[in-house]
Amino acid sequence: MTQTEPGIADQHVELAAQYAPAEVETRRYEQWVSSGHFAADATSDKPPFSIVIPPPNVTGSLHIGHALDHTIQDAIIRRKRMQGYETLWLPGMDHAGIATQNVVERKLATDGLSRHDLGREAFVKKVWEWKAESGGTILGQMRRLGNSVDWDRERFTMDEGLSRAVQTIFKRLYDDGLIYRAERIINWCPRCLTALSDIEVEHSDDDGELVSIRYGEGADAIVVATTRVETMLGDTAVAVHPDDERYRHLVGTDVEVPFTGRRIPIVADEHVDPAFGTGAVKVTPAHDPNDFEIGQRHDLPSMTIMDERGVITAHGPFEGLDRYEARPAIVAALREQGRIVAEKRPYVHAVGHCSRCKTTVEPRLSLQWFVNTGPLAKTAGDAVRDGRVKIEPVELSKRYFAWVDNMHDWCISRQLWWGHRIPVYYGPEGQIVCVGPDDTAPTGEGWVQDEDVLDTWFSSALWPFSTLGWPEATPDLAKFYPTSVLVTGYDILFFWVARMMMFGLYAMEGKQPFDVVALHGMVRDQFGKKMSKSFGNVVDPLDWMDRFGADATRFALTRGSNPGSDVAVSEEWVAGARNFCNKLWNATRFALLNGATVDGDLPPESELSAVDRWILSRLQHTITAVDEQFEAFEFGKACDELYHFAWDDVCDWYVELAKPVLNGSDAAAAARTRRVLGHVLEQLLKLLHPVIPFVTDELWSSLTKGDSVMVSEWPVLDKARIDDRAEEELAALQRVVTEVRRFRSDQGLKPGQRVAAQLDGLGSAGIGAHETLIRSLVRLEQPGTDFTATATLTVSGGVTVALDTRGSIDVAAERARLTKDRAAAEKEAAQCRAKLGNEAFMGKAPADVVAKITERLSTAEADLTRIDTALAALPAA
């Protein structure tokens, strides 16, 4: 038993009649923080276990995905803490370059100002002011959820230490030739006015238009197909496949681009798909990544015909039009000239959108900074292939390899003011100097620093080691790196995870940033539908916590989770989880009122009843299962195991079986049961604590008078307490009790109504010693001299129960009710058989529909068997 620490036990309160989460959660969390239980000690000789929290955006608030992600991490860290590890769960936030700059710019716009009105230095100061006043709302919400993070180690990607880390790795990568500056096609957001990396672009299938246009005249004409007609103003070639017989005679000739008077060559390139459109494509190297590559291979010029806001800059009749204004205008002009050969609309095709503002991304030739990902991505792939890093579930490794094995160079420069400014200076004579954190920046006339900042993901990629003090050799870094597990959604496996792997292995000389990547799915509604504001099914976890409690929210989310799979959840399930917490509360309150104790050793097996030995044995199986499932990241299965042990074994069976003993005349037996009841509840509360920390801590402290369950020892399997014989004995008892209860329910007997009965075969079933207990549980009296068996039940194991129900049942009314129920069950069964026997239906029906109908038939047939048994048991009229 954990010893009481000063100041904590004094705050112990007796259990109220009902559990009120709002009265417990804030008080408990403040106690945890003030007691220092979340703090990690780098000098400890305990084995380390560390997790760095995926840093939420400084602009963000707790959404349902965060709630799942944080609950899983908290459950892992709380269990490891109880298992004796020196645990570190490190919190922090990401500066979220584009998102944060947008927030502050919108705020300025309400005053009629832009960032350019303030200037760079004043604008950045405004962002820091906003961060201090309004940023980080999510950190308080994390407390509501119960996150047991080490708040003393909280980090921010723009704080001084992490900024030093960013400058250090940029300099090293630059010196090693892994960062370079080049003019390349990048993703450009015309609204945010910045370059975007591949991971900041969301693709969706949008309705568009495929237009086929004739270039040239007569026999030398060629037809090209495009979805972006406006880019024709920047065409510098037409390309065909070298093996396409249709166009072989035209390769090497040239053709005029409409409206421009320019003539461009027709080239042969294997990139062209002869089956797409007409098999001939226009080549616009400055506005399409594939066209850029064709241009490089054929030494084509690149013509930029749009400005940064997507406005046409090419001289001519369309100059000054927005790209979406120019598109129909050009189509109309082409149609007037008779150059439109075909139009297909709607034409559904993949379109990229800015992940922040949803504006359609424009491919654009631009001078930017890039990371040469080739060698870095190879090391990231090797670390998983050679087993240094394990991805759970393992089948998602294929997705990881598909990404890192085919990674493009990473555009890391952003045309923003909020972020880590690129540490490169340009001199008056064309000099380029990269400055490390300990270098002196060049000064003097003509020297200027690069205006751009780094992609937010650049600093986030350093998170597992920069937060521990790198590039300094800190005690935290020595103790807690590599981190033990990264928990995140599978949707950012390719993005953040891969980048952390690349930079961690590079900066830490081959040491991986984490040993395991545990991937969970997205949270969906109860029908498996993606949550979306447009669907009206978005859930606010804070609302659930207000109404049902943080524990209920956590338990519902975790119980629905499986590695790598999406999580379906509904309000009804959260309400059910609240009922589960109430069940625990009531069971513990019952135990306290009846003197349950955790003092002293458990009685030896030889002194315990079969009931006590059974529940202790069931506890051992539960400990084993929960440990196995936690280690396999099967948190949903662990919760399910604990739910059924707590609700079924402990509350529904053991508490009821214990009542006659606790209220009986055998004081010694009652004392032993009080000790077993106290032990089982204490162990159960420990097992549940990682997932539902608040209610379990309140209950455990009341039961044990201890400090906090979070610093108690995790339950350990006691093989000596596994008792197969007791489990078989209680299983036989449960079968008898369950069958009698079902019979009573079917016959409409009131719960408190006692019925005379004769029990035979208990001895041969091994439960003869439990007859008094059985009778108590199912309200059966000893048969009197006038006993007449009007109904007989046969239970597996050779037990028969003969009951005298005279005067207890309205036979006619009960027969009518059962007959009505039987007709409904027979109708259901007949309908299901008809569908399953219909070849036309079976040939078209999806497998899941057939499975549901088969399940309905099975249920209906089971109902028929049960009803027929009940009808047969009724006494004659």
pLDDT score at 75: 98
Please report, for residues 239, 250, 476, the alpha-carbon distance to residue 233 in angstroms, rounded to integers and kept in the order given. Answer: 16, 21, 58
First-residue to last-residue Cα distance in the chain: 62
Mean predicted confidence (pLDDT) in 63-72: 93
> How far from the centroid of its chain's Cα atoms is residue 805's Cα?
55
Its CATH class, for the domain covering 566-722, is mainly alpha
Q: Pull the structure tokens for residue 691.
A: 């997932």
Q: State the burial class of residue 575 (Cβ atoms within 10 Å of its Cβ: 0-12, 13-18, 19+).
A: middle
Mean predicted confidence (pLDDT) in 520-527: 81
pLDDT score at 585: 98
Q: Which among 617, 612, 678 is positioned nearest to 645, based on CA atoms?
A: 617
pLDDT score at 796: 81
Task: Please write the tens of the pLDDT for every residue from 655-683.
Answer: 999 999 999 999 999 999 999 999 999 99
The residue with greater pLDDT, 97 or 479, is: 479
Answer whether CATH 3.90.740.10 is correct for domain 194-362: yes
Mean predicted confidence (pLDDT) in 734-741: 94
Residue 461: band (very low, low, confident or very high) from pLDDT cuts 50, 70, 90: very high
Q: Record the pTM.
A: 0.85
Q: Pull the structure tokens for residue 304.
A: 């930029």
Mean pLDDT of all residues in the chain?
92
pLDDT score at 5: 39
pLDDT score at 355: 81
Q: Which among 152, 139, 164, 166 is positioned nearest to 56, based on CA atoms?
A: 139
Q: Which among 468, 460, 456, 453 is positioned nearest to 499, based on CA atoms?
A: 460
Q: Pull the structure tokens for residue 265.
A: 């060559």
* Domains 194-362 and 566-722 belong to one CATH topology: no
Beta partners for 348?
207
User: 855-864, long-range: CB within 8 Å, 24+ apart, which pairs?
Assistant: 856/828, 856/832, 857/829, 857/832, 857/833, 860/825, 860/826, 860/828, 860/829, 860/832, 861/829, 863/821, 863/825, 863/828, 864/822, 864/825, 864/826, 864/829
Region of 761 (left: φ > 0; alpha: ψ -120 to 50; beta: rest) is left
What is the DSSP annotation of 353-368? EETTT-PBPEEEEEEE
What H or E segment, with its residue span, contains residue 74?
A: helix 64-82
pLDDT score at 2: 40
What H or E segment, with its residue span, contains residue 222?
A: strand 222-226
Task: Please write the tens of the pLDDT for every residue from 668-725.
Answer: 999 999 999 999 999 999 999 999 999 999 999 999 999 999 999 999 999 999 999 9
pLDDT score at 825: 93
529 annotated among ligand-binding-site residues: no
Asked whether the predicted pLDDT for residue 11 surpasses 60, the reply is: no
Domain ranges across the chain: 194-362, 566-722, 750-873
pLDDT score at 7: 36
Q: Pull the structure tokens for residue 601.
A: 């050793």
> How far from the centroid of its chain's Cα atoms is residue 447's Cα?
48
pLDDT score at 806: 81
Q: Pull the structure tokens for residue 604.
A: 């030896």
Angle value at C-alpha 558, between 402 and 619, nearest 5 degrees: 120
> How far from the centroid of its chain's Cα atoms is residue 310's Cα?
37
Residue 349: band (very low, low, confident or very high) from pLDDT cuts 50, 70, 90: confident
What H or E segment, with its residue span, contains residue 88?
A: strand 86-90
Task: Please write the tens of the pLDDT for every residue from 107-131.
Answer: 999 999 999 999 999 999 999 999 9
b/e sequence 297-317, b meaning 16+ C-beta within 10 Å: ebebebbebbeeebbbebeee
Asked whether the predicted pLDDT for residue 774 surpasses 70, the reply is: yes
Task: Please write the tens of the pLDDT for every residue from 438-456.
Answer: 999 999 999 999 999 999 9
Q: Which among 801, 689, 812, 836 is positioned nearest to 747, based on CA atoms?
A: 812
CA dihedral 98, 104, 109, 114 (to 10 degrees): -70
pLDDT score at 877: 61
Within 13 A of 528's CA, how many CA atoms are on the CB side? 1
Query: Do residues 156 and 58 make contact, with C-beta atoms less than 8 angstroms apart?
Result: yes
286/398 Cα distance (integer angstroms): 34
332/342 Cα distance (integer angstroms): 13
| Cβ partners under 8 Å of residue 496, min gap 6 | 54, 457, 460, 461, 488
